[in-house]
Structure 1
């Protein structure tokens, strides 16, 4: 568990952190974030390996930097790239250094293009954004069944969960 230095093992154990599910207890995250802290949702973390060869679907989209998905990603990740389709703002993909310094993607499709199979091609393209064999992470709320299924369908596999938080006044 990655926490501010003021939290030692004894204090974490007293909160109920136990190496199983205790770290995700809302009381634990609330205590760690403190009054006014920022708490993100509990997400499933999935991983895939980078695939060889270029992808031609996603292009840099600096015009989408102010999109809420890009702003959220920028608050949690470093070295962020914002990508999308060349001719449409209906798809946004972010790729940066996230959990553990590993490459991590985020994605969103506009409601009007969901359900048509586009997400599979988009997610497959993301596996070409990193070097072949490099670990690529993504996260999704377990309740977001469409995203979880799409990630699994292109070869991402569950590896754990994460709940990001930031104490008040501390940038994520």
Structure 2
């Protein structure tokens, strides 16, 4: 069953955003794993199993920044028994036809740091590597969306490999589907790589995870 959050995210990815009216929408958690806040232009969405009245009591009317600010996120985390992970830039891109431009090899190494992290937060995780130190990881994350993670070895930095890995990942997705990527805004190198690979900013997102599962 498609959740309300999944429908909202898909619509935003297609350019149909929630109204920029300063309001906050509260949706049920799409799965026992997922809880957090996604913020679009002048509209926030809290997805967690909490009463809407509880959320609205803690967000001052007209305060567009409040849903992603520490006081509310801390209160939400305490209510849920979870911790705030990161506040990330949320980006999306469509699938591209044909084979990826990079030579990718399927990896079965579940201990690679990027793959191990994905396994904590995503389902149906698959990974690929390149001969020159790149790793691409795909999995089903928040509300079942297909999510991307990229890793470039230190020795391979500075040559545009991250951009090409992100672009190649779009060729690994079935036609007509979307690929999502979250990145810390301060990670300017990764932000630039995603933008250059055709990913578009959609909003910002903070996920709340069980204690000990941050990162």
TM-score, normalisation: structure 2: 0.70
The alpha-carbon distance between structure 1 residues 53 and 17, as it changes in their structure 2 partners (threshold 3 A), is farther
Tell me which of 184, 188, 212 is aligned to 1:145: 188
The alpha-carbon distance between structure 1 residues 71 and 15, as it changes in their structure 2 partners (threshold 3 A), is farther
Tell me which of 66, 83, 102 is aligned to 1:22: 66
Tell me which of 147, 157, 166 is aligned to 2:200: 157
Compute the displacement of 1:80 (Å): 0.8
Q: Name the structure 1 match of 2:178.
A: 135
SS at match of 1:44: strand
Q: Name the structure 1 match of 2:155.
A: 112
**What residue ranges of structure 1 are gaps of 5+ in the alignment?**
none
Q: Name the structure 2 match of 1:93.
A: 136
The alpha-carbon distance between structure 1 residues 122 and 33, as it changes in their structure 2 partners (threshold 3 A), is same
Alignment RMSD, CA only?
2.2
Work out the CA distance in 1 between the residues paired with 2:67 and 2:202.
16
Q: Name the structure 1 match of 2:209.
A: 166
Work out the CA distance in 1 between the residues paired with 2:65 and 2:212.
27
Q: Name the structure 1 match of 2:97.
A: 52
TM-score, normalisation: structure 1: 0.86
Q: Which structure is higher in RCO with an 8 Å CA cutoff and minimum separation 6? A: 1
Tell me which of 168, 173, 179 is aligned to 1:125: 168
Compute the displacement of 1:38 (Å): 2.9
Number of residue pairs the alignment of both structures matches: 165
**What residue ranges of structure 2 are gaps of 5+ in the alignment?**
1-45
Compute the displacement of 1:167 (Å): 4.2
8 Å Cα contact 1:93/1:108 also seen in 2: yes
Moved segments of 4+, more than 4 Å: 167-170
8 Å Cα contact 2:150/2:162 also seen in 1: no
The alpha-carbon distance between structure 1 residues 105 and 34, as it changes in their structure 2 partners (threshold 3 A), is same
* 1:33 is the counterpart of 2:47: no
| CA deviation vs aligned residue, 1:37-80 (integer Å, no higher than 9, x gap) | 332110001111000112252221112x1122222211211111
Compute the displacement of 1:31 (Å): 1.9
